[in-house]
């Protein structure tokens, strides 16, 4: 019988827990990984190309990646020309890769109607691109739209929406559909004006989200594809093993550290949960963690990768654009909140390990420190990227391009994962493929922002939330949090933030929250939608790997990620955590330390274990103390420290006495 099935007390389990050997772990098969990815990640439902067609599609996609890099670095064409040419290419690439449904996935099969849709959709964008010089002089307002231009705009938006359904999913289209209904049915905008705004002006499909995507994000997606092929994911897992694998419940801590490092590059909560989780989740289960807990740890940590600087799943570049800040400052401001988030998960898994009496991985099965030190050159591309951006040595696009070149060099040096010409081609293909999903999601986010702008819905939403909150900040924050979680369900990271920035951030700014804190607040709560039931895609993907109950896994993931529900309130009340309005380093340290102790108190309350089982009264004390520590203020800090410190001290002394009595 496995450890997780034994119904023993923690103390008894401590006696039977044994040091686990890494050789005992069985990673999930590649077939299972692919099956889970196809179920929970729309990006993975692609056509099957074999033989010569596969080579043709691969070369076309690689060429598209190279074109995107060239365009962002060297093109001097008008922005509208570059963006419509980019979207025309995305439409072609998208329909080459993504079928209408899973039933249409057959080797080398592209139905005639998909060819027709692909060509018509691309033609809409290319027509605007090639006729832009004439268009901009003739159609100076919506009143000068012609029926043909209106038809082209409608068809272009509809086909982009269909591609979005195929590769991103339905949730974001539900938001788009609701706003379009409001635009035409309640705001009574004319069709010509709406299509002019949403398709031809720079406030819709070719709005800020797609501008940032084409300018910055594409290059970083290609960089991530090259970085993955250098073998850095395995290095991160080996490094995490060395740092925390031997400690109590080590595999769960390994999952937290490795998923934080891998997740910031992958840009996908679901993708990282499945790929990293295929190794870490079986490790956790064999150590003694329950399947629901193991899947939840990986999902919570992988979701947190989206808030992990310096890359933050590519959303950092959008945040820089929306907030009007240099990218380096955005990454810097994200450090402390990300640290608190992962510290919260780390504390929770440590307490669970102590409660179950679990041990870690045998040190003899870990990669030797000297070997890890030799492989540290794999970090050069990331270090180079951070350095170039931090010192403003060049533009972000060029910094990413230089980092891609560094990845190639590093890949050539890694004999265990050599970057051959074939794998370089695969990296370019993967970069192009990754661009499709992000670009289409950004295009739809642009439509959402365009509808909100054209109808004045933003001001009405702001007024409604402010009125409902009665100008009480905590109520306004809570209502905004609910909006973010609902709107963020099933939406990719980049599009997620674009929606939040357009709809929810202005609400908080109206309530008096500084702009930077408002944007970080909505970004965090948009991201945690991936682990918040009922649409907790990352948690459900983790449960599929762990073979656990999906809803229980989602609830566990929400409990583990409790810091993500707390930290945003901290920097909303005190932006010092984001290095805003800082009067001194002591102020930053005080808020960081007290917030960390507060998160510990809340985590201990939810877990119900410190040195021994915590009774109900003490759990309430831990919760109250934790929450008061999280609220900035000297008096609340003192109250929180007394409550949390008192419970911890009592538990420690009581556990010692029990141990002496048993001896």
The pLDDT value recorded for residue 416 is 76
Are 83 and 206 contacting, i.e. CB atoms less than 8 angstroms apart? yes
For range 470-490, the mean pLDDT? 83
pLDDT tens-digit series, residues 445-477: 889 888 888 888 878 878 888 788 777 888 888
Greater confidence (524 vs 28) lies with 524
Classify residue 367 by its DSSP letter. Answer: P
Is the pTM value of this prediction over 0.95?
no
pLDDT tens-digit series, residues 349-392: 888 888 877 777 777 767 777 888 888 888 888 888 888 877 77
The pLDDT value recorded for residue 221 is 85
Q: Which of 178, 211, 206 is nearest to 455 (CA)?
A: 178
Are 13 and 3 contacting, i.e. CB atoms less than 8 angstroms apart? yes
Phi first, then psi: give them for residue 434, nearest 5 degrees.
Answer: -65, -30
Identify the bridge partners of residue 20 per DSSP, sorted by sequence position: 361
| Whole-number Å distance between alpha carbons of 96 and 90 | 10
Per-residue pLDDT for 21 more than 70? Answer: no
Residue with tokens 């370089």, as numbered in its chain: 424
Q: Six-digit token pair at 656?
A: 């010692």
Greater confidence (276 vs 401) lies with 401
Phi first, then psi: give them for residue 185, nearest 5 degrees.
Answer: -90, -30
The structural domains of the chain, with segments of one domain joined by +, span 33-208, 582-663
Greater confidence (660 vs 293) lies with 293
- CA–centroid distance for 197 within its chain: 30
Per-residue pLDDT for 5 more than 50? Answer: no
| Whole-number Å distance between alpha carbons of 582 and 589 | 11
Average pLDDT, the chain: 82
Greater confidence (62 vs 269) lies with 62
Are 178 and 452 contacting, i.e. CB atoms less than 8 angstroms apart? no
Give the angle 408-411-414 at the CA atoms, nearest 5°.
155
Max avg pLDDT among 22-31, 271-280, 402-411, 449-458: 402-411
pLDDT tens-digit series, residues 493-514: 777 788 888 888 888 888 888 9
pLDDT tens-digit series, residues 112-156: 999 999 999 999 999 999 999 888 888 877 788 899 999 999 999
Residues 6+ apart with CB under 8 A from 540: 40, 550, 553, 554
Per-residue pLDDT for 12 more than 60? Answer: no
Q: How confident is the model at residue 11 (pLDDT cuts 50, 70, 90)?
A: very low
**10-14, 332-336, 353-357: least confidently modelled range:** 10-14
Q: Six-digit token pair at 499?
A: 């929606």
| Whole-number Å distance between alpha carbons of 441 and 95 | 15
pLDDT tens-digit series, residues 533-554: 777 778 888 888 888 888 888 8
Phi first, then psi: give them for residue 322, nearest 5 degrees.
Answer: -70, -35
Q: Six-digit token pair at 660?
A: 């002496």
DSSP helix/strand/coil, 613? strand
| Whole-number Å distance between alpha carbons of 95 and 166 | 9
The pLDDT value recorded for residue 265 is 66
pLDDT tens-digit series, residues 72-107: 888 888 899 999 999 999 999 999 989 988 776 788
| Whole-number Å distance between alpha carbons of 595 and 593 | 5
Per-residue pLDDT for 18 more than 60? Answer: no
| Whole-number Å distance between alpha carbons of 67 and 420 | 21
């Amino acid at each position: 019988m496995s450890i997780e099935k034994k119904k023993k007390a923690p103390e008894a389990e401590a006696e039977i827990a044994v040091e686990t050997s890494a050789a005992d772990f069985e990673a999930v098969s590649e077939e299972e990984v692919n099956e889970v990815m196809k179920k929970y990640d729309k990006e993975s439902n692609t056509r099957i190309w074999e033989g010569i067609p596969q080579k043709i599609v691969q070369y076309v996609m690689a060429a598209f990646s190279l074109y995107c890099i060239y365009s962002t670095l060297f093109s001097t064409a008008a922005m509208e020309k570059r963006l419509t040419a980019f979207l025309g290419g995305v439409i072609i690439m998208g329909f080459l890769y993504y079928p209408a449904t899973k039933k249409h996935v057959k080797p080398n099969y592209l139905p005639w109607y998909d060819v027709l849709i692909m060509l018509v959709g691309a033609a809409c964008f290319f027509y605007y691109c090639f006729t832009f010089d004439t268009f901009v002089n003739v159609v100076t307002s919506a009143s000068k739209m012609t029926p043909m231009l209106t038809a082209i705009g409608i068809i272009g938006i509809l086909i982009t929406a269909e591609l979005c359904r195929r590769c991103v999913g339905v949730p974001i289209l539900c938001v788009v559909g609701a706003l379009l209904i409001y635009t035409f049915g309640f705001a009574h905008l004319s069709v010509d004006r709406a299509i002019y705004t949403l398709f031809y002006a720079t406030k819709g499909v070719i709005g800020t989200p797609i501008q940032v995507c084409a300018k910055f994000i594409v290059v970083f997606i290609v960089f991530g594809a090259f970085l993955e092929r250098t073998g850095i994911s395995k290095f991160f897992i080996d490094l995490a093993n060395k740092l925390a694998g031997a400690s109590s419940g080590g595999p769960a801590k390994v999952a937290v550290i490795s998923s934080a490092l891998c997740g910031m590059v992958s840009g996908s909560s679901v993708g990282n949960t499945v790929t990293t989780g295929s190794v870490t989740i079986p490790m956790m289960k064999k150590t003694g963690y329950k399947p629901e807990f193991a899947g939840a740890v990986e999902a919570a940590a992988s979701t947190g990768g989206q808030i992990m600087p310096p890359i933050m799943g590519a959303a950092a570049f959008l945040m820089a654009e929306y907030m009007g800040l240099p990218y380096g400052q955005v990454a810097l401001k994200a450090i402390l909140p990300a640290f608190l988030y992962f510290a919260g998960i780390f504390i929770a898994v440590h307490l669970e390990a102590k409660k179950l009496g679990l041990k870690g991985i045998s040190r003899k099965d870990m990669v030797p420190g000297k070997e890890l030190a030799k492989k540290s050159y794999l970090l050069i591309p990331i270090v180079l990227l951070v350095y170039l951006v931090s010192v403003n040595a060049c533009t972000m696009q060029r910094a990413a391009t230089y980092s891609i070149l560094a990845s190639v060099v590093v890949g050539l040096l890694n004999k265990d994962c050599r970057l051959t010409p074939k794998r370089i081609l695969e990296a370019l293909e993967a970069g192009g493929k990754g661009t499709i999903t992000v670009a289409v999601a950004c295009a739809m986010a642009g439509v959402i922002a365009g509808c909100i702008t054209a109808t004045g819905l933003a001001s009405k939403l702001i007024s409604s939330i402010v009125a409902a909150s009665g100008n009480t900040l905590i109520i306004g924050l809570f209502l905004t949090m609910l909006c973010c979680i609902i709107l963020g369900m099933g939406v990719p990271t980049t599009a997620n933030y674009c929606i939040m920035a357009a709809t929810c951030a202005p609400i908080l700014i109206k309530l008096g929250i500084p702009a930077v804190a408002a944007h970080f607040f909505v970004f965090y709560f948009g991201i945690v939608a991936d682990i918040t039931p009922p649409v907790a895609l990352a948690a459900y993907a983790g449960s599929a790997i762990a073979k656990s109950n999906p809803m229980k896994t989602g609830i566990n993931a929400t409990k583990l990620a409790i810091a993500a529900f707390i930290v945003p309130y901290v920097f909303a009340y005190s932006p010092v955590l984001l290095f805003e309005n800082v009067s001194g380093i002591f102020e930053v340290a005080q808020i960081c330390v007290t917030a960390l102790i507060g998160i510990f108190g809340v985590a201990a309350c939810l877990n119900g274990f410190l040195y021994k089982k915590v009774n109900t009264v003490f759990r309430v004390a831990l919760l109250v103390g934790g929450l008061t520590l999280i609220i900035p203020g000297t008096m609340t800090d003192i109250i929180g420290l007394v409550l949390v410190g008192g419970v911890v001290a009592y538990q420690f002394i009581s556990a010692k006495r029990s141990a002496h009595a048993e001896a």
